[in-house]
Amino acid sequence: MSLNKVLITGSSGGLGMHLAKFFANKGHEIILHGRDKEKLESLKINIIRSGNKAEYIIADLNNEKDLANLCEYSSSENVKILINNAGIICPNLSFSKITDDIIDSMIVVNLIAPIKIINKLSGNLKYVVNINSMVGIEAKKNRTLYAASKWGLRGFSNSLKMEDNPYNILDVYPTNIKTWPERENAMDVNVVVNKIYDSMISNEEELILDGRINDY
Ligand SMILES: NC(=O)c1ccc[n+]([C@@H]2O[C@H](COP(=O)([O-])OP(=O)(O)OC[C@H]3O[C@@H](n4cnc5c(N)ncnc54)[C@H](OP(=O)(O)O)[C@@H]3O)[C@@H](O)[C@H]2O)c1
């Protein structure tokens, strides 16, 4: 595929960081994003040392002004590939323990932010990849707000796919990924990243990565 500028939200760590290294090694220019300057700076240096190109932008997706700045910057940088990866992972709390803060931040960061980013960048985009979760397909106990945000993202995306878009949309539904060594029974992050890339360049619309079955 031709080389493009890629915005990967939430690339200061976890899956986003692995995606950033992978796409950079394929020759794409990366716009890293997160809230942690030190982590972003160190990843940028790491990518540049390996002979590839990266920049970063700091933005709290829970802050309207930051989100608007991220969209404006990415638009002006002519981003062609958007990977909506940033997300608040599940706090594993029963609904009775969920506070207003958790409700607001989970819905804003996991659902509203990716929708607004697609909306603002859509004029330039060739590919959109939304990192959803198996919890966006299967309801699970103690996942109320996480499930609400990810089911919302799936509904939004599946409806958007029915429109006449100039970009392909890939939704990714993984189970547990080994983004930290301590995660048990988790899928190899390199396998996950490879599968996401292959599905994206093949213009697939959905990728279910179920680590509970052998041949995911
Ligand atoms: N890991 C898994 O097993 C798994 C399974 C299924 C789905 N997923 C999905 O995969 C995506 C990545 O998960 P992960 O496990 O890699 O998570 P992670 O290690 O916690 O990383 C989350 C990333 O999102 C960013 N982020 C979180 N809140 C933010 C905010 N308010 N504003 C800006 N950036 C924010 C973080 O940036 P800072 O650190 O700079 O704040 C970080 O870069 C998520 O959408 C998650 O739902 C993960």
Residue 214 lies in a domain: no
Residue 215 lies in a domain: no
Evaluate whether 192 touches 155 at the Cβ level (below 8 Å).
no
Residue 203 lies in a domain: yes
Task: State the distance from the centre of ligand 1 to the C-alpha of 13, rounded, in angstroms.
Answer: 7
Evaluate whether 71 touches 61 at the Cβ level (below 8 Å).
no
- At residue 126 the predicted structure's pLDDT band, cuts being 50, 70 and 90, is very high
Task: Please determine, for residue 7, whether its predicted confidence score (pLDDT) is greater than 70.
Answer: yes
What value does the mean pLDDT take over residues 116-131? 97
Among candidate residues 98, 197, 181, 88, the one with its CA nearest the CA of residue 135: 88
Task: State the distance from the centre of ligand 1 to the C-alpha of 173, rounded, in angstroms.
Answer: 14
User: Which pLDDT score, from 0 to 100, does residue 118 have?
Assistant: 98
Token pair, residue 138, equals 């299967």
- 38 CB-side CA count, 13 A: 0
Quote the distance between the C-alpha of residue 34 and its chain's center: 11
- State pLDDT tens for residues 96-109: 999 999 999 999 99
Task: State the distance from the centre of ligand 1 to the C-alpha of 84, rounded, in angstroms.
Answer: 10
| For ligand 1, atom 23: residue with the closest CA | 10
Measured distance CA(120)–CA(113) in Å, rounded: 11
Q: Is residue 10 in contact with ligand 1, taking CB distance under 6 Å? A: yes
Q: Is residue 208 in contact with ligand 1, taking CB distance under 6 Å? A: no
Task: State the distance from the centre of ligand 1 to the C-alpha of 201, rounded, in angstroms.
Answer: 23
Q: Count other C-beta atoms under 10 Å from residue 50's C-beta.
A: 11
Residue 92 lies in a domain: yes
Evaluate whether 7 touches 82 at the Cβ level (below 8 Å).
yes
- Count how many domains the chain has: 1
Task: Please determine, for residue 60, whether its predicted confidence score (pLDDT) is greater than 90.
Answer: yes
Global pTM value: 0.97
Task: State the distance from the centre of ligand 1 to the C-alpha of 78, rounded, in angstroms.
Answer: 24
| For ligand 1, atom 44: residue with the closest CA | 87
Residue 34 lies in a domain: yes
| For ligand 1, atom 16: residue with the closest CA | 14
What angle (nearest 5°) sits at the alpha carbon of residue 118, between those of residues 116 and 121?
Answer: 105
Task: Please determine, for residue 214, whether its predicted confidence score (pLDDT) is greater than 80.
Answer: no
- State pLDDT tens for residues 176-192: 999 988 888 899 999 99
What value does the mean pLDDT take over residues 71-84? 96
Which domain CATH number covers 196?
A: 3.40.50.720
Among candidate residues 163, 138, 160, the one with its CA nearest the CA of residue 151: 138
The residue ranking higher by pLDDT, 3 or 131, is: 131
User: Which pLDDT score, from 0 to 100, does residue 19 have?
Assistant: 98
Residue 163 lies in a domain: yes
Q: Which residue range is the domain that position 125 belongs to?
A: 5-209
Residue 216 lies in a domain: no
Query: Strand, helix or coil at 98?
Result: coil
User: Which pLDDT score, from 0 to 100, does residue 130 have?
Assistant: 99
Residue 63 lies in a domain: yes
What value does the mean pLDDT take over residues 187-204? 98
Kindly state the helix (H) or strand (E) to which residue 119 belongs, with its residue range: helix 113-121
Task: Please determine, for residue 216, whether its predicted confidence score (pLDDT) is greater than 70.
Answer: no
- State pLDDT tens for residues 152-181: 999 999 999 999 999 999 999 999 999 988
